[in-house]
Amino acid sequence: MKNSATIIPVSSPECQVISWKSHLKSAFSDSEQLLRYLDIEPTAHRPSNLVQPSFPVRVPIPFADKMEKGNINDPLLLQVLARDIENAHIEGYSHDPLEEQNNNTPGLLHKYAGRVLLILTGSCAINCRYCFRRHFPYHQQLASGENLQKNLETIQKDPSITEVILSGGDPLLLSDKQLFEIISQLEAIPHLRRLRIHSRLPVVIPQRLTLQLQKLLSKNRLQTSLVIHANHGNEMDAELGHGLAALTRSSVSVFNQSVLLKNINDDPQILAELSEKLFEYQIIPYYIHRLDPVAGAAHFDISKKRASKIIRQLGQILPGYLLPKLVVEEPDKACKTIVL
């Protein structure tokens, strides 16, 4: 298998591009650097707002390039800028909002019937400040090495499991070779029918959508889907859209899920524009999640009443097939709850 760093993305057929791995290496890890890159003077913005948090800053340049220069309230910037408000203790917001951390099968989460989730890496290409796993002890909960083999045996022994979800962290941070090995092992389990990959990486670094990855996802026995994560229409651009459309043409289903975030996308017009941009590239708007109540992210939350109102208004703008379902995940439930 070729080294993916040298492969030309689906989305840029003719030019020399910076590889996705190079973009990962050069990502911003400091809010001040990011602000200067955006022509925003960090001292003009209240300096106390720029903290070096326990959940580090991580923002690759292709994502920063989708932000508006000079705009401290840019909706993409607000998703990734670490602020001191994250350190406030707010009742009802915990380190483990979905009660995943006491899981006794490290690397394997079996919450819903017929589906299991494999946690393949603890890293992401970007650190979203609202992330529900921002305090997750990945070092104890990874499906790698021995754990991965044990988890594959568990799946093999349980014929009720028909779908495997690769998650993280971001599973597309694995090399194509690593993904190939895992997918091959999953393909060999006869009762598995579907493979789903949850990743924000294509949105953050569209160059990850290489031809090699396209082949990997489209040429395996399992019905394969990719669930991307975009919250705002500004995250979608032609390079990303064409890369994803190429995947759908090769029979990989592509869905999007978002998180409803205060001051970022809590507006029916903004969400309508996102759905329309997604559909331009044949991506189905699937879920919009209410924020999981994770410590450090309370400032992104909006009330259930307001969330329902936004979705009702969105339903008046969009055709039904472009309307994402508003859902909330609750630790003790056998499925996501649809918020009406």
Residues at the contact surface with ligand SF4, assessed by CB under 6 A? 124, 126-128, 131, 133, 170, 200, 229
C-beta closer to ligand SF4: residue 224 or 231: 231
Would you say 86 or 170 has its CB closer to ligand SF4?
A: 170
* Minimum CB distance to ligand SF4, residue 323 (Å): 22
Nearer to ligand SF4, 20 or 318 (CB): 20
Token readout for 101 is 């951390």
Shortest approach of ligand SF4 to residue 205 CB, angstroms? 11
How many Å apart are CA 237 and CA 322, to the nearest integer?
18
Compute how many other C-beta atoms are within 10 angstroms of the C-beta atom of residue 82: 22
Separation CA 116–CA 136 (nearest Å): 18
What are the φ/ψ torsions at residue 265 (nearest 5 degrees)?
A: -140, 20
Which alpha helices (H) appear in the chain, and where do they start and end? 20-25, 31-37, 61-64, 77-80, 145-157, 176-187, 201-204, 211-218, 238-249, 268-280, 304-317
Q: How near is the Cβ of 157 to ligand SF4 at its closest, in Å? A: 29
Strands 337-338 and 325-328: antiparallel
Q: Nearer to ligand SF4 by C-beta: 19 or 127?
A: 127
For residue 195, the surrounding DSSP H or E stretch is strand 194-198
CB nearer to ligand SF4: give 189 or 254. 254
Which of 326-335 are b and which e, b meaning 16 or more Cβ less than 10 Å from the residue's Cβ?
A: bbbbeeeeee
CB of 129 to ligand SF4, least distance (A): 8
Distances from the Cα of 227 to the Cαs of 58, 67, 147, 252, 335, in angstroms? Answer: 21, 23, 25, 10, 17
Q: Which two tokens stand for residue 160?
A: 């009720």
Least spacing, CB of residue 282 vs ligand SF4, in Å: 22
The nearer residue to ligand SF4, 168 or 192, going by C-beta atoms, is 168
Closest C-alpha among 202, 223, 112, 105 to residue 154: 105
Tell me whether residue 168 or residue 285 sits nearer to ligand SF4 (CB atom): 168
Cα dist. 270→65, 75, 76, 233 in Å? Answer: 20, 10, 13, 7
Question: Looking at beta carbons only, is 297 or 318 nearer to ligand SF4?
Answer: 297
We find the least distance from the C-beta atom of residue 259 to ligand SF4, in angstroms, to be: 7
CB of residue 188 vs ligand SF4: minimum separation in angstroms?
Answer: 28
CA distance 332 to 340: 19
CA dist 332 to 102, 112, 161, 328, 336, Å?
14, 11, 20, 12, 10
Helix, strand, coil percentages, rounded to 5, for the chain: 35, 15, 50
Nearer to ligand SF4, 206 or 318 (CB): 206
Smallest gap from residue 127 Cβ to ligand SF4 (A): 5
**C-beta of 199: minimal distance to ligand SF4 in Å?**
8
Burial of 14-29, coded b for 16+ CB within 10 Å and e otherwise, reads: eeebebbbebbeebbe
